[in-house]
Chain A
């Protein structure tokens, strides 16, 4: 897997002869090895979901958060190196509060995305620090553009999505959600879809995992909040049932 760089991968300030910056690629690998995180922008809001592998029975359930509040109207799900992710969350929170303090209104989604992306990009350009091994899924709601979903990669590339996923199971998740009609699906339906998809792609069925989900919709008062526990439980029920059904079909 490693050793392809052969000398061109020692520093983020070095190109390889075929035009790659290997350190950036390696940062992306850190994300690709993490457990899956996904987001769906529905017709009436945004939903984020993370598959959290439970590493030990000694861990308290619900700890090791993967989804964070950036501001009332914005949230971030983190995939990749978790300590790096915490720094990115802090930076995004600072950007949001500074913007509000200066301009008197909540930071718009496109601006927040741009700020996180240019921050991450700086670490791909200058010599002193390595790139962040983090991909950030941003869920934002503002007056101008309504609900939005952004993905910011370790390189600083950022796009706005209807639906996307990062981490180990991203390919399978993206294939699953491609068939969804994003302009028709509601948040409640998306919560169930996320649960079903994550259960389906969770490979080692022996290993337990926790489902962490958040949303921004009318029901949450257009604030970024955890999906209520009963809805998550209900979605997990449906997901487990669907997974068993497809098992039986095999």
Chain B
């Protein structure tokens, strides 16, 4: 994982030197966590080009099949392309199998793309899903093409700030509510400290009954140490324009 921070750091240093040279990248926080009966995935919403936030409410969670999702961090273009290819191959495979592919198979496809094109791509991805053979699963697929099954995983620039929190707060066999709270809390903490992460929180919970998407708007994201509450007017949803 250290190598990825190095790679990402080097790429960010290059991209931040001149905003016009920088390509949009998902300086991001992504989190995925298994629980007793499924898996919860979460991501922030900020896409930035240098210091300019090009999208403050983007969706970094990409659906690959009915039961497997991809969390994207790194280059926005690269990760979207990888996701599109894997979605295509997964659909073909599902047709051949006559059934949903396993989460491991999808993770392998993502890893294959990352590995075979490692000179060109910069995508640090998490693959998370639920299949009937092995339940909820999380795979880390960092830059380079490693595939690592984990109980929980984080990635993106914001993840560096929450390793300690994850290590101390994660416990096995959480309930669905505990896991959703855990993921949301982790994202909010990272978004508080990482300049490249922020905006909104999106989560997806996968279990045997399917997927549930949740959205936490910018003014509902949990706040921490010395963070300012959003203004009352904004919270109520009314915008006041000053004319003149």
The tally of residues in B whose CB lies under 8 Å from a CB in A reads 16
Total A-B contacts with CB atoms under 8 angstroms apart? 30
Please tell me if the beta carbons of B99 and A105 are within 8 angstroms of each other in the complex.
Answer: no
- Nearest A residue (CB) for B102: A105
Residue among A102, A104, A111 making CB contact with B97, cutoff 8 Å: A111
Residue among A105, A110, A114 making CB contact with B105, cutoff 8 Å: A105
| Across-interface contacts of B99 in A (CB, < 8 A) | 144
Please tell me if the beta carbons of B133 and A103 are within 8 angstroms of each other in the complex.
Answer: no
A102 to B101, CA, bound (A): 13
Which residue of A104, A111, A143 has the most chain B CB atoms within 10 A of its CB atom?
A: A104
Which residue of A102, A103, A105, A108 has the most chain B CB atoms within 10 A of its CB atom?
A: A103
A174 to B96, CA, bound (A): 31
- Partner-binding segment picked from B52-60, B107-115, B167-175: B107-115
Please tell me if the beta carbons of B104 and A102 are within 8 angstroms of each other in the complex.
Answer: no
Asked if B93 CB lies within 8 Å of chain A CBs, one says yes
A111 to B101, CA, bound (A): 13
Please tell me if the beta carbons of A105 and B97 are within 8 angstroms of each other in the complex.
Answer: no
CB distance from B116 to the nearest CB of A (A): 11
Please tell me if the beta carbons of A110 and B102 are within 8 angstroms of each other in the complex.
Answer: no
- Nearest A residue (CB) for B147: A104
Give a binary string over A117-143; 1 marks a CB under 8 Å from any B CB, 0 the rest: 000000000000000000000000001
Known: A110-B98, A114-B96, A144-B99. A104 touches B107 (CB 8 A): yes
CB distance from A58 to the nearest CB of B (A): 47
A114 to B96, CA, bound (A): 9
Which residue of B96, B107, B111, B147 has the most chain A CB atoms within 10 A of its CB atom?
A: B96
A110 to B98, CA, bound (A): 9
Residue among B108, B112, B147 making CB contact with A105, cutoff 8 Å: B108
A21 to B93, CA, bound (A): 33
CB distance from A96 to the nearest CB of B (A): 14
Please tell me if the beta carbons of B96 and A104 are within 8 angstroms of each other in the complex.
Answer: no
CB distance from A144 to the nearest CB of B (A): 7
Please tell me if the beta carbons of A104 and B133 are within 8 angstroms of each other in the complex.
Answer: no
| Across-interface contacts of A114 in B (CB, < 8 A) | 96
Please tell me if the beta carbons of A104 and B108 are within 8 angstroms of each other in the complex.
Answer: yes
Please tell me if the beta carbons of A103 and B98 are within 8 angstroms of each other in the complex.
Answer: no
Residue among A102, A108, A110, A144 making CB contact with B112, cutoff 8 Å: A102
- Nearest A residue (CB) for B132: A144
- Nearest B residue (CB) for A115: B96
CB distance from A50 to the nearest CB of B (A): 30
Residue among A103, A108, A110, A144 making CB contact with B109, cutoff 8 Å: A103
| Across-interface contacts of A102 in B (CB, < 8 A) | 108-109, 112
A144 to B104, CA, bound (A): 14
A72 to B107, CA, bound (A): 22
CB distance from B107 to the nearest CB of A (A): 7
CB distance from A132 to the nearest CB of B (A): 23
A144 to B100, CA, bound (A): 11
Give a binary string over A138-182; 1 marks a CB under 8 Å from any B CB, 0 the rest: 000001100000000000000000000000000000000000000
Residue among A105, A111, A143 making CB contact with B96, cutoff 8 Å: A111
- Nearest B residue (CB) for A100: B108
Residue among B93, B97, B107, B111 making CB contact with A110, cutoff 8 Å: B97
From 48 to 97 in chain A, residues with beta carbon under 8 angstroms from any chain B beta carbon are none
Which residue numbers of B lie inside 8 Å of A, CB to CB?
Answer: 93, 96-99, 101-102, 104-105, 107-109, 111-112, 133, 147
Given contacts A110-B97, A111-B97, 4 further A-B contacts (CB under 8 A): A104-B107, A105-B104, A110-B98, A144-B97
Q: Top 9 closest A-B pairs, CB basis?
A: A104-B108, A103-B105, A105-B105, A143-B133, A104-B105, A111-B96, A103-B108, A104-B104, A105-B104
Interchain residue pairs with CB less than 8 A apart (26): A102-B108, A102-B109, A102-B112, A103-B93, A103-B101, A103-B105, A103-B108, A103-B109, A104-B104, A104-B105, A104-B107, A104-B108, A104-B109, A104-B111, A104-B147, A105-B104, A105-B105, A105-B108, A110-B97, A110-B98, A111-B96, A114-B96, A143-B133, A144-B97, A144-B99, A144-B133
